[in-house]
Amino acid sequence: MGYARGTVSASAENAGIPTAEFREEHRHLMAHVDRIRLAGGEVRDLPPGERAALVTEVLDFLRGTLLPHAEWEEQVLYTAVGELLGDARATAAMTRDHVAIGRMIEALGETDLADIARLQELLYGLHALIAVHFEKEEEIYLPLLDARPDVAERVMRQIGSGHHGLS
């Protein structure tokens, strides 16, 4: 499956947008998140050893890359968005998504590898929840930052300093 970490640079399509680097990080992460959906279709046809390896690879990505990214979002991105909206609680629904994602990751790690239906439920569910979560950030939160380049610059500096999952 290959969940490699790497440095993300802004594409030409995002050039000039204050949050371009964050959008590129999401694009990089979504390639791996899309692979989780594909894994949901593969688990039923794999022998037990390969199924275990696939689930382990997904869990490694989720725990080692996605969850640190979510922690960074809560500490940096959501704090900035809360400031812009005048209330730190304005991002509570997005933080709740992180809790739900974390619980699903725990459940995936605890699921019997012979329980194909449950594995598929969790893999497909994680894909859907994470994809919608990213869409909400990109369509609601990032435009708020783009409208305030001074705040966006402060947030984007945190990406460069390695306080999240990909740097």
First vs last C-alpha separation in the chain: 20
Residue 11 lies inside a defined structural domain of this protein: no
Q: Are 152 and 160 in contact (CB under 8 A)?
A: no
Per the structure, the complete domain to which residue 93 belongs is given by: 17-160
Q: Are 28 and 165 in contact (CB under 8 A)?
A: no
Residue 113 lies inside a defined structural domain of this protein: yes
Q: Are 158 and 79 in contact (CB under 8 A)?
A: no
Residue 58 lies inside a defined structural domain of this protein: yes
Alpha-carbon gap, residue 41 to 132, rounded angstroms: 20
Residue 41 lies inside a defined structural domain of this protein: yes
Residue 89 lies inside a defined structural domain of this protein: yes
Residue 1 lies inside a defined structural domain of this protein: no
Q: State the pTM of this model.
A: 0.86
Residue-level pLDDT, tens digit, the chain, 167 residues: 433 333 334 454 556 899 999 999 999 999 999 999 999 999 999 999 999 999 999 999 999 999 999 999 999 999 999 999 999 999 999 999 999 999 999 999 999 999 999 999 999 999 999 999 999 999 999 999 999 999 999 998 887 655 444 43
CA 23, 98, 164, 123 dihedral sign is negative
Residue 92 lies inside a defined structural domain of this protein: yes
Residue 137 lies inside a defined structural domain of this protein: yes
Q: How many domains does the chain have?
A: 1
